[in-house]
Amino acid sequence: MALDSAALLAWLEKVAGRLHEQRAYLTDLDAAIGDADHGVNMDRGFTAVMAKLKAEGAPHDVQDVGAILKTVGATLVSTVGGASGPLYGTAFLRAGMALAGKTALEPADIEEGLQAALEGIKARGKAQAGEKTMIDALEPAVSAFSAALADGKDKAAALAAAADAAEEGVRATIPMLATKGRASYLGERSKDHQDPGATSTALMLRAAADEG
């Protein structure tokens, strides 16, 4: 089944709920290696996203999936502090650009959007996998999604594989030395801590898998 604007909004609502529930957890993770504001910032950002989309009448008055994603991105850039706003904002903006004009997404479209989001984060953050960032969750998730589709799996199975890979990627950040962002200032002390950005990415992908 294709993902239309109503399904996209349902996923975004679930993401907003998960981030609100995990606000303290994400902030605690960030307190160890960052500015102790990741959970607060992400909760505020997605609360603003949902308010903006509902004000615009999504999903009924906004059927263009790409337009919804671009609204999400622009709202995150304007409301989320630190590095997360520009990075997540760029991810959603790039996905929205890649999927502009589409009213429903087939699995291949979702793959294209995920890839565009990943490349946007890499370009904006000038980062690669292995540097203890959200890329360490998103890149394996995108690869897992693509591999599942190549194996003939349906959308639900591919999203589940992506969420599993993201969570494995989150665990892999714990022993990493941070070389990008605020955590990199800590040097060796950044090791043995889970990356908060990778964690919030995994929460979003698990929400997508739960929506199916």
Band of residue 60 on the pLDDT scale cut at 50, 70, 90: confident
SS3 64: coil
Per residue in 137-182, pLDDT (tens digit) is 999 999 999 999 999 999 999 999 999 999 999 999 999 999 988 8
Report the candidate in 47, 39, 102, 40 with the shortest Cα–Cα distance to residue 70: 102
Residue 162's domain comprises 3-211
* Number of domain units in the chain: 1
Mean pLDDT of all residues in 37-57: 95
Q: Is the pLDDT of residue 117 over 70?
A: yes
Q: Can you give the pLDDT at residue 1?
A: 65
CATH number at residue 88: 1.25.40.340
Distance CA 77, CA 96 (A): 14
* Residue 116 CB contacts under 8 Å (≥ 6 apart), including other chains: 94, 95, 97, 98, 99
Tally of CB atoms within 10 A around 154: 12
